[in-house]
Amino acid sequence: MPLTRSLDESTVVITGASSGIGAATAYALARRGAAVVLAARSEPALRQVARRCRELGGRALVVPTDVTELESVRRLADQAAAEFGRIDAWVNNAAVSAVGLFDEIPVAEFRRVLEVNLLGAVHGIKAALPYLGAAGGGVLVNNASVLAEVAMPYQSAYNATKHGIRGLADTVRQELRVTGRGHISVCTVLPATIDTPFFRHTGNHSGRELVPPPPIYPPEVVAETIVRLLRRPRREAYAGARPG
Ligand SMILES: NC(=O)c1ccc[n+]([C@@H]2O[C@H](COP(=O)([O-])OP(=O)(O)OC[C@H]3O[C@@H](n4cnc5c(N)ncnc54)[C@H](OP(=O)(O)O)[C@@H]3O)[C@@H](O)[C@H]2O)c1
């Protein structure tokens, strides 16, 4: 089921909103008059994104959040609903990576990638579902990657989390349907390589410079895909080229 209200009446929570695809999604929604709730760890960066959202015609709330902590994510949901009255959609978008041969990535760093990308999405879904139900329905979008479909060497931790997000989304969707909550849609977006600071934020154990694999698409391509999913939910949507 799509959003129960038009975008200019909707409240959308976005994790990883301080940068890249999350910020671009916030701008795309703000342009359509939505209320956006911006979550990430860096408050100054979130404040800049919020300022731009308001210039574009949206309403914006900044909630500094660490998605690895369930309580932090629950607080995000509570503050979003307290400020705007309800939550209509939730975008799990925060992620990190660690590049290198599997043998070279320390377990602590592997764990960090799992905690941010996969457990962060688990926390987001846990926090969002009660509010989406209370709103009479809504849309949950998980930003995965084409690396949820194919594996890429030197990206074992990231690949594992993105495959995991796809399986998690499919399972939650099935469970919502069989428990009478089919009015909450669960969508997975599978972007190709996107031009964001992601590769500069990535832990690099490869001993080489990281060069994102072409073709490279602007973050607005993913943002517009997410907007389309909110209006017309589908199980999955590619953003940029599909894996060959
Ligand atoms: N760029 C690509 O080529 C590409 C391709 C496919 C999929 N994706 C996916 O797109 C999503 C966004 O990535 P991006 O390219 O826009 O990268 P990005 O610019 O590095 O953004 C990552 C975001 O995640 C946030 N974040 C990291 N750790 C966090 C934590 N513990 N708690 C809360 N927020 C946290 C960061 O903010 P703070 O540091 O302020 O917390 C930042 O806002 C990710 O899920 C990524 O896997 C990217």
Question: Each residue of 81-95: pLDDT tens digit?
Answer: 999 999 999 999 999
pLDDT over 70 percentage in the chain: 100
Please name the amino acid found at residue 205.
H
Check pocket membership of 95 for ligand 1, CB cut-off 6 A.
yes
Show the CA angle centred on residue 217, arms to residues 211 and 223, nearest 5°: 125
Q: Which of 59, 15, 20 is nearest to 41 (CA)?
A: 15
Contact 38, 49 (CB under 8 A): yes
Contact 36, 88 (CB under 8 A): no
Contact 162, 145 (CB under 8 A): yes
CA dist., res. 146 & res. 164, Å (int): 13
Check pocket membership of 66 for ligand 1, CB cut-off 6 A.
yes
- Ligand 1 center from residue 33 Cα (angstroms): 24
Residue 15: is its pLDDT beyond 90?
yes
Residue-level pLDDT at 177: 97
Per residue in 22-64, pLDDT (tens digit) is: 999 999 999 999 999 999 999 999 999 999 999 999 999 999 9
The answer, yes or no, to whether the previous bond of 215 is cis (omega within 30 of 0) is: yes
Closest protein CA for atom 8 of ligand 1: 145
- Cβ neighbours of residue 175 closer than 8 Å, sequence gap 6 or more: none
Active site residue 27: no
Per residue in 169-207, pLDDT (tens digit) is: 999 999 999 999 999 999 999 999 999 999 988 999 999
Kindly list the distances between the CA atom of residue 72 and the CA atoms of 41, 52, 168, in Å, as whole numbers in the listed order: 10, 25, 21
Residue 150: is its pLDDT beyond 90?
yes
Contact 43, 65 (CB under 8 A): no
Domains plus CATH for the chain? 7-239 (3.40.50.720)
**Closest approach atom of ligand 1 to CA 116:** 31
Check pocket membership of 19 for ligand 1, CB cut-off 6 A.
yes
Q: Which of 158, 180, 33, 15 is nearest to 96 (CA)?
A: 158
Residue-level pLDDT at 1: 78
Per DSSP bridges, beta strands 98-99 and 59-64 are: unpaired
